[in-house]
A and B are shown apart, each in its own frame.
Chain A
């Protein structure tokens, strides 16, 4: 059997939360009371806008969203990432996520997380799940502070598929034997290029796509 990998989207697929919660956590941990209050309020005020943008275009959403990191120091972000994993991500993990990953590993798959979230925020999770590789967005830092810009290409939609294709080419994996897992129809491209796509807790659109193409549908709890 050729070498293969299982690619997992993170938000909504392995964990119940999404990038908005992660950002909210950073905002809450701004350091000063005033800063915390200010960030929290502006985040809360922006939530409806995030929602609209997310449903409209994930790419625009991500670009818009990451600007909120501007000015935060790298050290601070890394420290908070560890806390954020313990406080936000770990409790939000679906109970069956680890089993799903263990089953993929038993069948000989490499484990790769593919997420639109930022790499430093996802690294503790990747370590916890024993992932072999993390494909995530990278924040640009200048002088130790985040610029609020993400180093292109932004990992979302079709770019997730490209990143997976490149990874398979680089590692000599058979794309046709690889597995893909996602909850969102915005990841259709990523699911469509792997030989074994699976919809996990899918949104309505992905559920109908999965039914049309006879992809397995998993409901993680």
Chain B
């Protein structure tokens, strides 16, 4: 890399938006399990995450304070009485990303809540993972999430995964005014009190979504996990612009009417990298010589070892997040506070949209923890999540070009994603039209007994999940004019997804400029850690 002393004056240290100058350092960008080191054209706007916010000094004290001073409900101790049925519902492994260093914040919350329950004479306590149609968490993952002490005391009889396909395990409460099915886990329905243990990673998590999607079944999820709702949502991250959020609110309101749910929501800062990889969170302008060496060593090693080994190495690095807030009580007032804190950490003000936007796609997603980021998940990261990491309007202009950095390899995990394989190889060659997919094939996959079996008895995502992943990218697909995947190692994966491919980022930018014009503006979302572009026109 070039010496940068002379460049210090060219950018404001406080600013999260850096305009590339002649002589700016090349950028270290994720591309699956490896990194690219890329020079960007002069004038490219690079948007960096905010620095991590300060965490609360004592997490357990913050939890105790929150449950003793809840929003819109009595303190937790006042809700507990001997002989009652208590169920703690817990967010699954899809958040946070990567998994946090132990103790996980969920463990800290449970340690406080379970002790309080025991002191109040509450013996009938179950711990339920709100995995919805996600894969069941493995024994090892469950142990890591709550710590050995709680695991040994509760697993497997009183600490288990939700089963959305258990014929006797779901209770339908009633329907919303929009005829949405409201169904919840039987144990939850029969509990006197539910404590929801949340980890809020982006503003889309938490609130009514926690119960509304976490402990329900396919019939209920169909109400909003469909192409129409996705198309009607202008932003996933902003409640007032999201039809998805509104549907969840209607469902959640019915749940709150029937059940007593005490939410404990937590927010984390974005300290995704620590120890030897902490330089990844820095601007390249701030790299020291040691950082450059570390980066080159990491890139060299990851490039030389087999991809599966690189995946193992990267998955083995937990993130040293700090807890920035704990809020407890009734669903809505709690979530307002969570959202506020979330935006404070992630929001980066950006002036205006761009014609071309570059998203480096890292090795991880909410649906591939300890697994493979298969082509459908690359799609959901690019067109689903990253495209929607904004408030109000997308970073890319209508009809603009998205450039994704990823090898786009044709690899699937048959244990975690069996139905994805069939979806990608059998269904996608026929149509990419979400509406057609929903009407013609969704039920067939959802009810396929083999996939149901793999979901219930193995560690597989539900048969319908690849459809949701495809719908998730619907907004992005409707909005952009072209998607180019730079660095794709084959032709057929991008072709099946309806994308162009190039070998390098430079070629991708050339092609995008050919499409949008030579004066096209370019932005790069330098992610991870997480950031949300607050785009103002």
Contact = CB atoms under 8 A, between A and B. Distances in A.
Interface of A: 1, 6, 96, 99-100, 102-104, 106-109, 177, 179, 181, 196, 198, 211, 214, 216-219
Contact of A100 (B165, B419, B421, B449): B449
B452 interface: yes
A106 B456 contact: no
A107 B422 contact: no
A177 B444 contact: yes
Contacts of A181: 450
A179 B454 CA distance: 15
A1 B454 contact: no
B137 to A, nearest CB: 19
B418 interface: yes
Nearest to A101: B449
A96 B456 CA distance: 11
Contacts of B140: none
B449 A1 contact: no
Contacts of B451: 216
A108 B425 contact: no
A214 B421 contact: yes
Interface SS of chain A: mixed
Interface in B395-444: 414, 418-419, 421-422, 425-426, 443-444
Given A214-B421, A214-B422, A214-B425, A106 B450 contact: no
Nearest to A102: B167
B457 interface: yes
Contacts of A211: 414
B450 A1 contact: no
**Of A96, A100, A214, A216, most B-chain CB atoms within 10 Å:** A216
B449 A104 contact: yes
Given A1-B443, A1-B444, A217-B414, A198 B421 contact: no
Contacts of B458: 218-219
A96 B447 contact: no
Contacts of B138: none
Nearest to A217: B414
Given A177-B444, A214-B421, A107 B453 contact: no
Contact of A216 (B418, B456, B457): B418
Interface string B360-383: 000000000000000000000000
Contact of A196 (B418, B443, B448, B453): B448
Contact of B165 (A103, A109, A214): A103
A107 B464 CA distance: 14
Given A179-B448, A216-B419, A218-B450, 4 more contacts: A102-B167, A106-B449, A109-B449, A214-B425
Given A106-B167, A214-B421, A216-B418, A100 B444 contact: no
A198 B450 contact: yes
A218 B449 CA distance: 11
B425 A99 contact: no
Contact of B448 (A96, A107, A217): A107
A103 B462 CA distance: 13
Contacts of A96: 453, 457
Contact of A103 (B418, B419, B422, B449): B449
Contacts of A217: 414, 418
A6 B451 CA distance: 14
A179 B422 CA distance: 14
Nearest to A96: B457
Given A1-B443, A214-B425, A99 B457 contact: yes
A218 B422 contact: no
A106 B451 CA distance: 13
How many B residues touch the partner, as a band? 20 to 34
Nearest to B420: A214
A106 B447 contact: yes
Contacts of B443: 1
7 contacts: A99-B457, A104-B449, A106-B167, A108-B447, A179-B448, A211-B414, A217-B418
A183 B419 CA distance: 20
Given A99-B457, A214-B421, A107 B414 contact: no
A177 B452 CA distance: 16
Given A102-B167, A214-B425, A216-B418, A196 B447 contact: no
Of A107, A181, A196, most buried by chain B (CB within 10 Å of CB) is A107
A104 to B, nearest CB: 4
Contacts of B449: 6, 100, 103-104, 106-107, 109, 179
B513 to A, nearest CB: 38
Nearest to B419: A216
A199 to B, nearest CB: 9
Nearest to B167: A106
A103 B452 CA distance: 7
A181 B453 CA distance: 13
A188 B447 CA distance: 24
Contacts of B456: 99, 103
Contacts of B165: 103
Most interface-central of B426, B443, B444 (chain A CB within 10 A): B444
B414 to A, nearest CB: 7
Nearest to B446: A107
A107 B452 contact: yes
A196 B422 CA distance: 10
Interface in B438-484: 443-444, 447-454, 456-458
Given A196-B448, A216-B418, A217-B414, A103 B453 contact: yes
A91 to B, nearest CB: 20
Contacts of B447: 106-108
Contacts of B448: 107, 179, 196
A216 B454 CA distance: 9
A100 B422 contact: no
A218 B453 contact: yes
B454 A218 contact: yes
B263 to A, nearest CB: 33
A81 to B, nearest CB: 28
A100 B167 contact: no
Contacts of A6: 449
Interface in B111-127: none
A177 B450 CA distance: 13
Nearest to B424: A214
Contacts of A214: 421-422, 425-426
Contacts of A1: 443-444
A106 B167 CA distance: 9
A14 B427 CA distance: 30
Given A106-B167, A214-B422, A217-B414, A99 B453 contact: yes
A214 to B, nearest CB: 5
Interface string B334-371: 00000000000000000000000000000000000000
- In the A-B complex, list the 7 residue pairs whose CB atoms are closest, starting with the nearest: A107-B447, A103-B449, A104-B449, A198-B450, A216-B450, A214-B421, A103-B452
